[in-house]
Each structure stands twice: as structure tokens, then as C-alpha cells.
Amino acid sequence: MNIQDIKNRFGIIGSSAALDRAIDTAWRVAATDLTVFITGESGTGKEVFSKVIHSFSTRKHGSFIAVNCGAIPEGTIDSELFGHEKGSFTGANEARKGYFEVASGGTIFLDEVAELPLQTQVRLLRVLETGEFIKVGSSKVLKTDVRIVAATNVNIPEAIEKGKFREDLYYRLNTVPIIIPALRERGNDIVLLFRKFAADFADKYKMPSIRLDEIAQQVLMKYRWPGNVRQLKNVTEQISIIENERNVSAEVLARYLPGPHGSMVPALVRQDGSSDMSEREILYKVLFDMKKDMVDMKKLMLNMLQNGETDQHFQENNAQLINKLYTDIQQTPYYQSAASSPAPASSPSSPYITPSHPPVTEHVEVEEESLSLEDREKELIIKALEKYRGRRKNASKELGISERTLYRKIKEYGINL
């Protein structure tokens, strides 16, 4: 059986290399009786992989029991797993079989195994080593033939250092490790999963399926997804139910994503390719990018004012604003001066600068950015003219500039259509 057949059978969506590797490992180890340890963040679908292992094993006709170790109170976890005798504790009105006795001949999936109390970890270690266990309140040793698949979203080596998890138990569980990738590491799989969930909810609620525009898809893939597939499914369902418009924009999508706080900010990657940036580094990166965007916007505004894209009355009344923009750009550390002395106040490139405001010096980076803006502007003008078959009036409305400015730009760029 190939990987795609397994995906189809268990409803696994995606084609990332890390996901395929995890599926292939689960399928290959299934035929053995080895203990498997699945690690991955909460919401990545670890239980699905335990079912893959059980379904392709020789125990597939036996019981499969999934136990959430973190959801069972510490006082009753031993009784749940290993059973108890009548009268062994208050409320034990009759004897009860535990999961290890019931699932003998089958598979037990221990989710959140790192949440087990240390005393219970000792009992589990004995089951792994000898297949033996003792019920609560009993002295009789019982045998079980059960395969254990464990999973956790906790950093086990760190838990071992803190004394919260037994090192010997870790090595017994970790016979075959399977690592489930986080959703943010799966690239285009995020969009594929969104489409699948959107189609499912459209069918469930009898409504048209929602669709993301291109920018919204980029937002979807850049978001960190701390809740992984589970969170993505919840977000898709919320949008499907609440929004009337079926075409979802980036602005609409952003309303359903937690804001840029701590781990919620988009995942960033270092220059060396690693993604383990600290929270402070991420915030600095975001702030620097925002500042650069502000400088770029100021340069664009200056370019518009200097090239006559506003009327003379506006320019005269806002000379102080223009001078401030020049000063702000000059003082921004992104654009270091390439000249040792400032340009004269009467320079034609800065007609509104007064003696009380220092003129703008020549900047290498500013010139490079200006060229890229001109190229982009020329491209947009050509596209607008082609769209309206050379009708300048319609093209100018599309571009949001006056027809006179458009005519001047056509001459300036030598555009012939």
C-alpha cells in the first residue's frame, strides 16, 4: 500500500515531505510489535497515526483504546489503567477491569503520556518490560499482551531534567519515534486543509463553500497556527457560519485569527534557515519591518507631491508637512547618507525646504527604491491602458490619478500602445 492510499483511507490531507515521512514510518512499524512514541504539538493529529499503526498491525482485530492521560484525575488514573478490587478505596463497590486488561491482544494509545504521575509511570514501565501489572487493592500479578503507542506534546528531555518524567520509561517508550510536523511547517498543505474543511462545512450546513482570495491564502500560510489542524478547522467553521460573503478577503480572515501576541505572530525564519526565534527577536523584526514600511510610504507621498499629483494649492498649504517628511527620511537609520555634506537649500529637488529645516542629502538606498517604484508604476500604467484598450480616461480612473498626470507619465516613460 502506498502513502496516498493511507491518506485516502484515514482522511489525511497534505503532501509535505515531513508528513509523508511520518506516515511511511507508521505504516512500516505497524507490522511489528514495537512500542511507538509519537511527538508533535497539540492539534497535529497524533491519534490518527496511532490508528494507522493499529489498523495495519496483526492486532487489527483486537481492541483499540485511546486514553487521554491528562484528562484523568491523579487519584483514579491507576484504577483506570490497571483496574481495582472491590473495597480497595472509597466508592469501589465492585471489582473493575482496567484498560490494560480489557485491551489485551490489542492496542492502547496513551495520549499526553507526560501527564502521568511518577507512581503510575513506574507501573507502566513494568508493563512494558514484563507485560505484568497489579490491580489497585490486589496482590495478584496479572499478565497482559498489549501494544503501547504513546504520544505527547511536551519536550520530554526537558521534563526528565525537571524530574517530571522517568528517563528509563522514556527510552522504553521511544523504541520507534514518529515526529508529526506542526501545521506552520507544512506550506501549501494549510490551504488544502482549509479547502477540505470549507467543503465539509458547506455540505454539513447546506450552504456554498467559502473561498480565499490570493492575499488571504498568503495570510493563512504565514500565520503561526499554535493550535495546528484543530485550530484551522475551528476557524474555517466559524467563517463558514458567520460570514455572508463566500469570497473571503485577507481583512475578513484576520478577524478570526488571534492578534500578534507572543506565539501568535507569524512564524519567522532566521538567515540560517532555523525557525526557533525568540519572542523578543520576532517582535523586533516586526517593529523594524513596520518602520521601514512607514519610510517607504513617506517617500511615495513625497514623490506624488513633487510630481504634481496634487494641486498647487494643496502643496502651498502643506509645505511644512513636506519639509517634515524630508527631515524624517533623512533621520531614518535605514537610509545612511552617501554624501558628506547636505544639498543646498535652493536645490530643485527640494523646492519647499526652508532654512529652518535641513535639506535632504543624496541617499544610495533611496535612489534604488525610487527606481523600483518607477518600474512598478510603468507596469501598472501599461496594464491599465491595455485593459481599457488605450482609453486614457478610464485608465486614469483605474489608477486613481488625473488624466493630465497619466498623459505626462506616458510621455515620461515613452509608453506606446
| pLDDT at position 230 over 80 | yes
Percentage of residues of the chain with pLDDT beyond 90 = 59
Cβ atoms < 10 Å from Cβ of 69: 21
The pLDDT tens digits for 62-117 are 999 999 999 999 889 999 999 999 988 888 889 999 999 999 999 999 999 999 99
Question: Average pLDDT in the 388-399 region?
Answer: 83
Q: Under a CB-based contact definition with an 8 Å cutoff, are residues 287 and 268 in contact?
A: no
Question: Average pLDDT in the 224-234 region?
Answer: 95
User: How high is the pLDDT of residue 296?
Assistant: 66
Q: Which three cell numbers stand for residue 136?
A: 489497585
Cα distance from N-terminal residue to C-terminal residue, the chain:
58
Question: Average pLDDT in the 369-387 region?
Answer: 73
How far, in Å, are 171, 183, 264 from residue 224 at the CA level? 31, 8, 6
User: How high is the pLDDT of residue 337?
Assistant: 40
Where does residue 63 rank: exposed (0-12), middle (13-18), buried (19+ CB within 10 A)?
middle
- Phi, psi angles (nearest 5°) of residue 227: -95, 0
pLDDT band at 40 (very low <50, low <70, confident <90, very high): very high
CATH classification for the domain delimited by 3-181, as one of 2.30.30.190, 3.10.450.50, 3.40.50.300, 3.40.50.450: 3.40.50.300
Q: How far apart are CA 193 and CA 145, in angstroms?
A: 38
Question: Average pLDDT in the 42-57 region?
Answer: 96
User: How high is the pLDDT of residue 180?
Assistant: 97
Q: Which residues are CB-contacts of 46 (< 8 A; sequence separation ≥ 6)? A: 38, 40, 111, 151, 153, 180
| pLDDT at position 252 over 90 | yes
The larger pLDDT score, comparing residue 287 to residue 171, is at 171
Question: Average pLDDT in the 36-51 region?
Answer: 96
The pLDDT tens digits for 25-36 are 999 999 999 999
Percentage of residues of the chain with pLDDT beyond 70 = 72
pLDDT band at 385 (very low <50, low <70, confident <90, very high): confident
Q: How far apart are CA 345 and CA 213, in angstroms?
A: 48
pLDDT band at 372 (very low <50, low <70, confident <90, very high): low
Lowest mean pLDDT among 156-165, 186-195, 306-315, 319-328: 306-315
Q: Which three cell numbers stand for residue 346?
A: 535652493
User: How high is the pLDDT of residue 401?
Assistant: 82
SS3 (DSSP) at 192: helix
Lowest mean pLDDT among 26-40, 95-109, 188-202, 345-359: 345-359
| pLDDT at position 363 over 70 | no
User: How high is the pLDDT of residue 285?
Assistant: 56
pLDDT band at 327 (very low <50, low <70, confident <90, very high): low
Q: How far apart are CA 101 and CA 146, in angstroms?
A: 9
Q: Which residues are CB-contacts of 243 (< 8 A; sequence separation ≥ 6)? A: 210, 252
CATH classification for the domain delimited by 184-264, as one of 3.40.50.80, 3.40.30.10, 1.10.8.60, 1.10.10.10: 1.10.8.60
Question: Average pLDDT in the 262-275 region?
Answer: 42
pTM: 0.62
Closest to 188 (Cα-Cα) out of 16, 404, 32, 350: 16
Mean per-residue pLDDT of the chain: 82
Lowest mean pLDDT among 53-62, 261-270, 383-392: 261-270
Where are the domains positioned within the chain? 3-181, 184-264, 291-413
Lowest mean pLDDT among 113-127, 152-166, 257-271, 299-313: 257-271
Examine domains 3-181 and 184-264 and report if their fold is the same. no
pLDDT band at 409 (very low <50, low <70, confident <90, very high): confident
